[in-house]
Chain A
Amino acid sequence: MSRRVLILDYGWGNMRSLDNAVQAAGAIADASRERSSFRMADALVVPGVGSFSHGMASLEAQELVGHIKEFAETGRPILGICLGMQLLFDKGTEFGETAGLGLIPGVVRRIPVDFSCQKLPHVGWTHVEGSHAADRSMFRGIPPEDRRFYFVHSYSAMDVAGQHIWGTVEYGALELVAAVSRENVWGTQFHPEKSGPAGLRVLKNFIDLC
């Protein structure tokens, strides 16, 4: 039976692409913010592009923070993508400090680039180094040489415990957190819905967690 994936529509993120990608990965996509959608979903995807403070402000204004936390408590899988991953952490630091969802310990800070030879945002397709556990879960079926995913971000999750990191990327001399998980809560800094067949496989592997 097809899994039902709630793609949280809170005003930030490419809904159409995610909807199509989730369907391509073999699930039913429900782009919504309704309480009933939270109840009926087998999994939740939190998308997002833009700033941490705008994202959290939208979630709070639409009274979605409680629903997301309750969903996490039920043990059903959650996947945060890009800004959606960043919001899973304790706080962001873009315009002063903004509290996040607090589902994974860590802080979101600006990537400390060396402007003499690097750009911000970090944009492009980059190889993600996966943990051994990832080989069996989110990277299952994706050969290491195909683990190239699309990133676009100026901020990155930091102070994250090693046990919660299943993917990292190199950006110049920096090693950045690319993918995280804590129990049923998952996150990718990269966009699986924009990373071709390998990205679609990550989405499928996530859906298979249900």
Chain B
Amino acid sequence: MRIIARVDVKNNHVIKGIHLEGLRQVGDPNELARRYYEAGIDEIVFIDAVASLYDRNNLFPIIRAATEDVFVPITVGGGIRSVEDVTAALNAGADKVAINTAAVRRPELVTEVARRFGSQCMIASVQAKRRADGWEVLVETGRERTGLRVIPWIKELEERGVGEILLTSVDQEGTRRGFDIDLIESVDSLVTIPVVASGGYGSTEHLSPLLRRTVPSGIAFASVLHYEMASPEDLRAAVQTALEGTS
């Protein structure tokens, strides 16, 4: 299972929030990326947290710099709106792009990207907020409601050819109070493509309850890494222990 660092960036600073709001600066994106790489991270996801303000992704210089000394898969997301944006992101050195809002606005984009570049380069980032009868899809970095329900939306994304799902629980994100296990299990059992769970990890105790129900392809960590509460190797060891305990 992949140990992934999720790095949200605003104005060239890494930020951290709760429920995708309430921002706090925690460091330089390239320095953090290098630190996590040297500490054994499996993969890094850079999200432009304010792409909607500028109507485009501004992280390509960070991506270019990252590829010089960080030799693990790199994903970039936030403001990826067109096939041209995907081309630019991949040329900057990203291995994958994460698409959220643009796919909701125009699902055909997903089909176009899959056809042009292949599914393996495209992650659908889905931000899920708990409602009475399931979960709702949010966009614009968790600020806007869509009325779409997560499960049917993810099924459509899979059918259109996304390669992976990056599933963020808006309710749990930044709280360090544990995962939304029902959400992760519902999605993981629904699709044949890999699912990366994001949002809520706070301590090693949170792992067994999740892994007993389902083992996602990866877990994206943010707070715990950025606040130096655990290293990538600590997290890998904790996951291994939890997996062995559930078998």
State in angstroms the CA–CA spacing of A124 and B95 once bound together: 13
Main DSSP-derived SS at the A contact region: mixed
Tell yes or no: A199 within 8 A of B by CB: yes
Contact of B72 among A50, A54, A150 (CB under 8 A): A150
Which residues of A are found within 8 Å of B95, using beta-carbon distances?
14, 17, 194
State in angstroms the CA–CA spacing of A121 and B163 once bound together: 7
Tell yes or no: A59 within 8 A of B by CB: no
- Could you tell me if A49 and B120 are in contact, using CB atoms closer than 8 angstroms? yes
Residue of A nearest to B119 (CB): A121
State in angstroms the CA–CA spacing of A50 and B120 once bound together: 7
Q: Using a CB-CB cutoff of 8 Å, which residues 71-102 of chain B contact chain A? A: 71-73, 90-95
A170 to chain B, nearest CB (A): 15
State in angstroms the CA–CA spacing of A55 and B215 once bound together: 33
- Could you tell me if B194 and A121 are in contact, using CB atoms closer than 8 angstroms? yes
Contact of B67 among A20, A115, A197 (CB under 8 A): A20
Contact of B2 among A24, A54, A125 (CB under 8 A): A125
Q: List 7 A-B contacts (CB under 8 A).
A: A14-B90, A16-B67, A119-B193, A124-B2, A125-B2, A191-B73, A196-B71
Q: Using a CB-CB cutoff of 8 Å, which residues 216-241 of chain B contact chain A? A: 217-218
Tell yes or no: A193 within 8 A of B by CB: yes
B215 to chain A, nearest CB (A): 9
Tell yes or no: B192 within 8 A of A by CB: yes
Tell yes or no: B42 within 8 A of A by CB: yes
Tell yes or no: B135 within 8 A of A by CB: no
Tell yes or no: B164 within 8 A of A by CB: yes
Residue of B nearest to A113 (CB): B192
Using known A-B contacts A16-B64, A50-B118, determine if residue A119 contacts B71 with beta carbons closer than 8 Å.
Answer: no
With A119-B194, A121-B120 given, name 4 new contacts (CB 8 A): A21-B71, A24-B71, A124-B42, A152-B73
Tell yes or no: B69 within 8 A of A by CB: yes
Q: Using a CB-CB cutoff of 8 Å, which residues 38-93 of chain A contact chain B? A: 49-51, 54
State in angstroms the CA–CA spacing of A15 and B164 once bound together: 22
Tell yes or no: A120 within 8 A of B by CB: yes
- Could you tell me if A196 and B121 are in contact, using CB atoms closer than 8 angstroms? no
- Could you tell me if B218 and A124 are in contact, using CB atoms closer than 8 angstroms? yes
Using known A-B contacts A121-B163, A124-B1, determine if residue A196 contacts B67 with beta carbons closer than 8 Å.
Answer: no
